[in-house]
Amino acid sequence: MRSITRLELQYAHRFYGFRGEAQYLHGHTGILTIEVEDSIEPGVNMVFPCNEIQKTAWNMLKNFDHALILRRDDPLLPAILDVYEKQGIRGGAPNNIMKGPAFETELAKAYPECRLVVTKETMTVEGMIKIVYDLLKDKLNIAKITFSSGVNAASEEFVTRNKIDRCPLCGIALNEKGVCPKCGYKKG
């Protein structure tokens, strides 16, 4: 069965080199739906608590929220960094606290200190699904990701691959020692 969670991301981007309106910088509220598949953990009668899926996903994905997402060969990138630098906000600002880890994958690199994500490919809805799967595939048993942004939407299904032991008392993933980080339950 599947547990399904949804989160919103507000971001600015453009399709560099695209021959349409989207070649200009613009913004969206993107809606990301993540479906996690596993057996039902009998103790809690659920696959995985949806708020925990959200928490795990948000930890990485908050870097995309209120962020600028640019392809790495986009000439806007050095221009923006130059402005941020001159303004003194390139390395951070006191009110920029919604920062996730400064991840770097094959597809995307986050600069949380200045709310920028640099991508290898154009950040279409399809591109975003590839990035999100790559960031979360080892943490969650992702069976499907759907991403919609304005009139654009895409989805992809994945084969789940992790063996995740869950706490029979609160449903969250046990750590490598078989202990629940929330309630302290230990796998017998």
* Residues in touch with Zn ion (CB under 5 A): 167, 169-170, 180, 182-183, 185
Instruction: Confirm if 137 and 129 have CB atoms less than 8 A apart.
Output: no
As a 3-state breakdown, the chain gives helix, strand, coil percent values, each rounded to 5, of 25, 30, 45
Smallest gap from residue 179 Cβ to Zn ion (A): 9
Smallest gap from residue 80 Cβ to Zn ion (A): 17
For 178: left if phi > 0, alpha if psi spans -120 to 50, otherwise beta; the answer is: left
Compare residues 153 and 169 and give the one whose CB is closer to Zn ion: 169
Compare residues 13 and 143 and give the one whose CB is closer to Zn ion: 13
Structure tokens at 120: 């290898």
Compare residues 98 and 183 and give the one whose CB is closer to Zn ion: 183
Smallest gap from residue 94 Cβ to Zn ion (A): 30
Round to the nearest angstrom and report the end-to-end CA distance of the chain: 25
Compare residues 110 and 167 and give the one whose CB is closer to Zn ion: 167
Smallest gap from residue 150 Cβ to Zn ion (A): 6
Neighbours of 88 (CB within 10 A): 9
